Amino acid sequence: MIVILKQNHNEEQLDSLRRWMKSMDIDIHTSQGMNQTVLGLIGDTSQVDADLIRALEIVEDVKRVQEPYKKANRKFHPDDTVVDVNGVKIGGGELQIIAGPCSVESRGQLCMIAESVKASGATLLRGGAFKPRTSPYAFQGMRADGIELLLEAKKLTGLPIVTEIMDLSQLELFADVDVIQVGARNMQNFELLRRLGQTDKPILLKRGLSSTLEELLMSAEYIMSGGNEKVILCERGIRTFETATRNTLDLSAIPLIKELSHLPIIVDPSHATGIARMVEPMALAAAAAGADGLIIEVHNDPPRALCDGVQSLTPAKFDALFKRVMAIAEVRKQIDQERTVST
Ligand code: PEP
Ligand code: MN
């Protein structure tokens, strides 16, 4: 249930509403927007008489929220959430580009890629230290040593780092990591999500291989219900009957998520397509569709990459992609401004 307050409402009356809700074991999530204050009531609201609340002098309207996700719901928080990662703002109109190798392989490889993607304009560095691989015999990542190298690359370039956690036991190693990624395979690892909800780190939550958007939002809700509201969603392609590409990029997820939720959503065209030459067209399409960011795999020597070389761009290809994507982002910004003015 949400309660929309009148502008210039009386604070004493608001306190009394808070106390009343508390006496019924209902938590209140307050969203102070530009034009409106919205209270989200969390708990068993079936006992709450909406008409009684509506009758209060400070209340403009009361609505029941049918969706099972509350804190992630746009109705609870009408304005876009902007996640601030060391000054890099994800959400709210800018397009941020996260780039780097699928896996951290060596100091030389990571630092070289980090410097080149930074020179192109990327604002965050990605790199897997713990790798979820289909085969137990495939390269599993450099693990703790990989995190150390990411921290070195961060020092060298100043780029905040994004890397994947696979298990709760690894959390200590992530103390200086800027964004913790939860990969597609762990999207419904609820214990992991719950624990990450107790941290104050931004979480990049990737959509599961066969997950619906509602399931993705429910996973975000797990993190947010613990108190951590810094969640960035990621569309990275889903399983369909199509085998020509590694996955099928669901671009409609972007405008739909933006309707349903206030959380930022980024797109991973590398894992979505699995083919390096498909990455740019899908990155351009994602920027046009309104994505808040992109996460792109870049490798200095794709044929020799230890993981995902076929979908990795060379630094030169990434540089060209970056300029084209930014051109689309500019056009989109203009269109968004025109739309805001005309509505
Ligand atoms: C990755 O980003 O390195 C990764 C493994 O992605 P996903 O979880 O989307 O497969
Ligand atoms: Mn990869």
What 8-state DSSP symbol labels residue 114? H
* Per-residue confidence (pLDDT) for residue 340, from 0 to 100: 83
Sign of CA dihedral 76, 80, 84, 90: positive
Mutate which of 150, 164, 295 for ligand 1? The one with the most ligand atoms within 8 Å of its CB, which is: 164
Inter-CA distances, 334 with 80, 93, 337, Å: 18, 11, 5
Other beta carbons within 10 Å of 333: 13
* Per-residue confidence (pLDDT) for residue 3, from 0 to 100: 96
**Protein residue closest via CA to atom 3 of ligand 1:** 102
The tens place of each residue's pLDDT in the chain, 343 residues long, gives 999 999 988 999 999 999 999 999 999 999 988 888 999 999 889 889 999 999 999 999 999 999 999 999 999 999 999 999 999 999 999 999 999 999 999 999 999 999 999 999 999 999 999 999 999 999 999 999 999 999 999 999 999 999 999 999 999 999 999 999 999 999 999 999 999 999 999 999 999 999 999 999 999 999 999 999 999 999 999 999 999 999 999 999 999 999 999 999 999 999 999 999 999 999 999 999 999 999 999 999 999 999 999 999 999 999 999 999 999 999 999 998 898 888 7
pTM of the model: 0.96
* Per-residue confidence (pLDDT) for residue 36, from 0 to 100: 87
Contact criterion met (CB below 8 Å) for 275 and 245: yes
Contact criterion met (CB below 8 Å) for 130 and 164: yes
Query: What is the biggest distance separating any 2 CA atoms in the chain, rounded to whole angstroms?
Result: 68
List Cβ<8 Å contacts ≥24 apart for 179-184. 179/85, 179/124, 179/203, 179/204, 179/232, 180/204, 181/126, 181/206, 182/206, 182/219, 183/132, 184/208, 184/209, 184/236, 184/271
Q: Could you please report the per-residue DSSP string of 233-295?
A: EEE--B--S--SSSSB--TTHHHHHHHHBSS-EEE-HHHHH--HHHHHHHHHHHHHHT-SEEE
CA distance 278 to 265: 20
* Per-residue confidence (pLDDT) for residue 343, from 0 to 100: 74
Dist. CA 207 → ligand 1 center (Å):
10
Q: Which is the closest atom of ligand 1 to the Cα of 184?
A: 8
Dist. CA 156 → ligand 1 center (Å):
25
